[in-house]
Amino acid sequence: MPKRVNDDRDKLRPALEDHVTSCEVCESDPIDLAAAEALLCSLSSVRPSDASTEALLRMARVELARNAAWVQRRRITAAIALAMLPLPLIAFYGVAVVSFVGSVAAKLLPESVAAYVTTAYAASIVLVYASTYAAVPLLLDRFRAGYPGVRALRPDGVPS
- At residue 72 the predicted structure's pLDDT band, cuts being 50, 70 and 90, is confident
Give residue-wise pLDDT tens across range 77-93.
Answer: 887 778 778 878 888 88
Q: pTM to 2 decimals?
A: 0.39
Is residue 143's pLDDT more than 60?
yes
Give residue-wise pLDDT tens across range 37-68.
Answer: 777 777 776 677 888 888 888 888 888 887 88
- At residue 35 the predicted structure's pLDDT band, cuts being 50, 70 and 90, is confident
38, 48, 67, 75 from 157: Cα distances, Å? 50, 28, 8, 15
114 close to 102: Cβ distance less than 8 angstroms: yes
